[in-house]
């Protein structure tokens, strides 16, 4: 249960001192603190969605991977993306399919190839649940210029690339 501070605002724990005379707002520690806090808040929303739909948090990660894929997602690519075993991906896709979130579609030219598609009804369900996250993002974006936002997006893209490169090699 979220607690409230003396002003009635939700208590998010101690905040790092950042500003004139308190340290550099661009140091690694400050970045780490803010990235962890954003991750925690996003995870709260993800876990609530998962719980409401009888899914695992990994299932929601799979849904995001299917939604964000630049080409049709296959179970093999999903396994690589999530770092799961084949059996775990099969169980994940089975849960998502039973819950009506994804459809398995066999490639017409090669029936062995299965593509995973986000179900249209599930897309609207997800949009409704994640709307507060989108609204918070839009409110935050409103305080920045287009040039500043371009730098933020570039930073996030490069960070994602670096984290992908830093993944442990599977054996």
Residue 165: name the closest of 31, 157, 72, 74 by CA.
Answer: 157
Q: How confident is residue 60, by pLDDT bands cut at 50, 70 and 90?
A: very high
- Nearest to residue 52, comparing CAs of 153, 126, 123? 126
Query: How confident is the model over 107-125, as a mean pLDDT?
Result: 87
Q: How does DSSP classify residue 85?
A: -
The pTM of this model reads: 0.76
Mean pLDDT along residues 26-41 = 91
Mean pLDDT of 98-110: 89
Of the two residues 13 and 36, the one the predictor is more confident about is 36
Whether the predicted pLDDT of 125 surpasses 70: yes
User: What value does the mean pLDDT take over residues 34-39?
Assistant: 94
Please state, rounded to an integer, the average pLDDT across all residues of the chain: 86
Neighbours of 69 (CB within 10 A): 17
| Distance separating alpha carbons of residues 23 and 57, to the nearest angstrom | 36
Token pair of 144, please? Answer: 């920045």
Q: Is 138 left (phi over 0), alpha (psi -120 to 50) or beta?
A: alpha
If you count them, how many residues does the chain have? Answer: 171
93 in Cβ contact with 102 (< 8 Å): yes
């Amino acid at each position: 249960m979220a607690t409230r501070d003396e002003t009635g605002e939700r208590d998010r724990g101690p905040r790092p001192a950042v500003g004139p005379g308190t340290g550099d707002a661009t140091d690694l520690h400050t970045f780490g603190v803010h990235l962890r806090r954003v991750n925690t808040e996003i995870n709260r929303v993800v876990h609530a969605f998962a719980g409401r739909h009888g899914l695992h948090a990994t299932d929601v990660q799979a849904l995001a991977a299917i939604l964000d894929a630049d080409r049709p997602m296959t179970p093999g690519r999903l396994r690589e993306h999530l770092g799961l075993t084949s059996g775990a991906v099969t169980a994940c896709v089975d849960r998502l399919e039973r819950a009506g979130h994804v459809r398995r579609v066999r490639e017409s030219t090669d029936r062995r190839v299965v593509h995973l598609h986000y179900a249209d009804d599930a897309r609207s369900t997800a949009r409704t649940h994640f709307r507060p996250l989108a609204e918070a993002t839009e409110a935050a974006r409103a305080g920045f210029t287009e040039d500043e936002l371009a730098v933020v997006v570039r930073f996030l893209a490069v960070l994602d690339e670096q984290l992908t490169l830093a993944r442990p090699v599977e054996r």
